[in-house]
Chain A
């Protein structure tokens, strides 16, 4: 990590623990770069309080601090508004007798000292498959417009801006790696959901063990494509800390091991111990030892990724190469072929038509190539971006192996 990245992790630790930062670490910080990096991880608002505890001489330049302050205030206002909209929607589900389980977002805000500073940009809700049509009716009745439809997921846009993903299934079982052997009905039965206080109201959520396992699987799902960022890492670490005495940790680790995710989870929590003051506790019961090299590599990957794993264009390009490694015998070769001809399941918008109609996959390949060619012509993309994407993919495949996430190879 460079000094700026190191200070980012330090500020996050201070923000979570209510501590003043160590001024000795602030000397070599590139403040504009730190602000940009924090925004890429959607944690910038969280850092303002510890920054304001620095002596004046060590604080960001006035123009950076002013932008940071304004951004944070807009963030809080936006979050208050989003949470209100979500609870209004959840109330409509309750009134209609449809159990909608809140995933991530609002279910995790209370883990943070200032819940409004843990941002959420949309809401993920899980309903039983049998209730999906009724849930759709609730969404429409509340003024939400259906804007996107994927297998087992409807995406809606609300009248006041809230975007909602309504799931009847958590993960795509046709996907690669651990996802293909994930028995969702057994691991995440909706019948176990509990109605509990969350930030701004009440919601149905999974019990702690199931919730922790879901968070782990969700992070792993992103890890085997674009990666994910510091916010999800903090969520998981804080969740483990808050529920240290409330869940069956040996059972959690056993389930994680069954999915091949235990080393990955151990590495995440090792980062929590090293960088974010995660105290020792029952969460370690049954945990494997974390590889220091894997944990350090994971941290660097997290920082590079940004909140959705798409902080840079090279990173986005690397995702198809990484993901395609799971269904091929030549994972460490043939990268160019995988980059040019990705599988349908790895494609995102605007190529989703190939997922819905597999016969159109060749059309999507041509569409991607044409789009890339146009971007090269207009200067929006550079040839070296593709090479950089390959390098990132190579490094990430090695990291995934260290974390035990390469199903295609023994770790």
Chain B
């Protein structure tokens, strides 16, 4: 079976940010699937923020206590972004705008702060890492289960 024609970034508009990112990445010759690790913005349920003295701390509650028995300290900016992340349907863009409004930061400064915050939250387990798989031949995102089936 012949391979579907590969599209180039210039010949067809990118339908999603994921496709745009995929098209901009160099990949090994012949690679069909791009596996990208992204962060889902939004605090996992069961984590609470408390201010104690001069420090802000995030603690697990309920079933989360079985997963993580400790606390995470945040600075004031981190605590602000944490609270913003707990609002309905948080996105990176909303966090950046909130940061700019609260601290008078530039787009670039706010973007850097939010990127660092999001990555650290993911690494601490407060945000969820999500895996996205792009079939570069069809240009469509597929699920992990579909990917596993294709690889078998």
- Residues of chain A touching chain B, judged by Cβ–Cβ distance below 8 Å, are 45, 48-49, 51-52, 68-69, 72-73, 76-77, 80-81, 84, 116
B52 pairs with A45, CB closer than 8 A: yes
Told that A45-B52, A73-B52 touch, could you supply 14 new A-B pairs with CB distance under 8 A?
A: A48-B52, A49-B53, A51-B53, A69-B52, A69-B54, A72-B53, A73-B57, A73-B71, A76-B50, A76-B59, A77-B71, A80-B48, A84-B62, A84-B65
How far in angstroms is the closest Cβ of chain A from B58? Answer: 10
Distance of A108 Cα from B65 Cα, bound (Å): 25
Closest partner residue, chain A, to B62 (CB atom): A84
Chain B residues within an 8 Å CB radius of A49: 53
Main secondary structure of the interface of A (DSSP, over half): helix
Judged by a CB distance under 8 angstroms, whether B91 is at the interface is no
- Residues of chain B touching chain A, judged by Cβ–Cβ distance below 8 Å, are 48, 50, 52-55, 57, 59, 61-62, 65, 71, 73
How far in angstroms is the closest Cβ of chain A from B119? Answer: 24
B57 pairs with A77, CB closer than 8 A: yes
A73 pairs with B55, CB closer than 8 A: yes
Distance of A376 Cα from B73 Cα, bound (Å): 46
How far in angstroms is the closest Cβ of chain B from A304? Answer: 27
A68 pairs with B53, CB closer than 8 A: yes
Contact of A84 among B52, B54, B61 (CB under 8 A): B61
A69 pairs with B65, CB closer than 8 A: no
Contact of A52 among B48, B53, B65 (CB under 8 A): B53
How far in angstroms is the closest Cβ of chain A from B75? Answer: 14
A52 pairs with B54, CB closer than 8 A: yes
Distance of A84 Cα from B52 Cα, bound (Å): 19
Distance of A69 Cα from B55 Cα, bound (Å): 8
- List of 9 A-B pairs having minimum Cβ-Cβ separation, nearest first: A48-B53, A72-B52, A69-B53, A73-B52, A52-B53, A76-B52, A77-B71, A77-B59, A52-B54
